[in-house]
Amino acid sequence: MQLIIHPERTQWPAILARPTQDPAQLEKAIRQVLNKVKENGDEALRQFTQQFDGVSIGQLEVTEQEISTAGSLISDALKQAIGTAKKNIETFHSFQMTEEPAVAVMPGVKCWRRSVGIEKVGLYIPGGTAPLFSTVLMLGVPAKLAGCKEIILCTPPQKDGTVHPAILFAAQLAGITKIFKVGGSQAIAAMAYGTESVPKVSKIFGPGNQYVNGAKQLVQADNTAIDMPAGPSEVCVLADDSANAAFVAADLLSQAEHGPDSQVLLVTTSAPFAEAVKKEIASQVSLLPREAFAQQSLTNSRAVVLSSIDDAIDLVNQYAAEHLIIACENEMSLGDRVINAGSVFLGNYSPESAGDYASGTNHTLPTNGFAAAYSGVSVDSFVKKITYQQLTREGLQQLAPVIEEMAIAEGLDAHANAVRVRLK
């Protein structure tokens, strides 16, 4: 992990740059997959599953029996943990279900909005190097609350051709039954275009690697909406001398272990603290089963020492982290100064892994700086907001001069006539 002390502001963009592959080569590879799935459907999905996952798949859809027996294949303790996490996620997200009142903007003119669940949505659940069954809850729970009628789930198969039982158990708990053994950019293509087995959806959700993220962005051009650009995971920790170096190192490693293209960033006002964190990382990383992934990620990662907390906040806001941990004495007031972040964790006892699993907030968040413009997944992500208006004759009479004046000024006389004909 590179240590950078008191860099000039002109150096910040280079320091905050995310690791990435050559965009042209990445797009070329993804387009080949998208086109083949679009043309050859299930056959292409089976070929890519063999090529990328090393698995030969016959039936792509998970059977009812596989789903019903999944619970017997995991421990009672894990089932209880998944149940508790689901309850917390459901509780937090249920408070997002607010009805908006109708507004009388002027006498006789009433306007309102109604939330309607998107009918068909597709959920992508990573499962290659780690089966992210927690993501099933993060996406499935708000989709159900929003009232989505058809929920499709795609996830890569394990080497034996099955889906990890924890993913199936979480899906069953969330009320999702249409599950397919398809991963990578080919899964995004299947949900965007539809195949003989996989239904076409209107919007695709879920995190993934650069291929999955790139595929999501490309299918937008083919009239399939996506939740947000959500690629390799990242965390930024803002810490001062009051923080615990072991805690901070553990938080950084919890993201570094996701994969070699993940990135972690430490921002602090204390060079001795940064050194202490580096020593803790060296001590802790060797104990991790996924040490190889974490070590590769750390080569993309940095510890930055700045001269003031004001500069530190500026740097953090410029980075626009997916996950931001503030481990400082005055974490609440510093938290109020955050304007760009996916999800914020305040204080020494709020690890990022709490939000990843069970605090109740959503862990599907914008990465790669997109937190400057995007929010994380919520119930709102799964609904459309349809506006309504109702005018009485008297209301239209009052509004008519405004409409006619503006329509004529724009050269759209038929618009003005639509008002005149009603008031004759």
Alpha-carbon distance values, 135 to 100, 130, 158, 315 (Å): 29, 11, 17, 29
Tell me, yes or no, if 6 is annotated catalytic. Answer: no
Helix axes 23-40, 210-219, angle to 10 degrees: 60
Q: Is 209 annotated as a binding residue?
A: yes
Q: How far apart are CA 19 and CA 201, in angstroms?
A: 31
Report the alpha-carbon distance of residue 82 to residue 47 in Å, rounded.
Answer: 33
Nearest to 183 by CA among 107, 243, 244, 130: 130
Per the annotation, does 374 bind a ligand? Answer: no
- Grouping H, G, I as helix, E, B as strand and the rest as coil, residue 264 is strand
Cα first-last separation, the chain:
76
CB 18 within 8 A of CB 369: yes
DSSP 8-state assignment for residue 49: I
258 is in an annotated binding site: yes
Distance CA 278, CA 245 (A): 9
323 is in an annotated binding site: yes
CA 367/CA 262 separation, integer angstroms: 10
Residue 356 assigned to a binding site: yes
Would the annotation count 300 as a binding residue? no
Nearest to 60 by CA among 129, 153, 123: 153
Look at the chain and count its residues.
424
**Max Cα distance, the chain (Å):** 83
387 DSSP β-pair partners: 113
CA distance linking residue 231 with residue 234, whole number of Å: 9
Cα separation values, 389 from 104, 112, 395, Å: 10, 6, 11
Whether 322 is catalytic is: yes
Other Cβ atoms closer than 10 A to 168: 28
Q: Is 124 annotated as a binding residue?
A: yes
List, in order, residues 6 or more apart from 226 with CB less than 8 Å away: 203, 204, 205, 216, 217, 219, 220
Residue 5 contacts by C-beta under 8 Å, 6 or more apart in sequence? 271, 305
Catalytic residue among 322, 331, 352, 404: 322
Which residue among the candidates 280, 323, 363, 404 is catalytic per the annotation? Answer: 323
The answer to whether 160 is a known ligand-binding residue is no
233 is in an annotated binding site: yes
- Binding site for Zn(2+): which residues? 255, 258, 356, 415
- Binding site for substrate: which residues? 233, 255, 258, 323, 356, 410, 415
- Binding site: which residues? 124, 186, 209, 233, 255, 258, 323, 356, 410, 415
**Catalytic center residues:** 322-323
- Binding site for NAD(+): which residues? 124, 186, 209
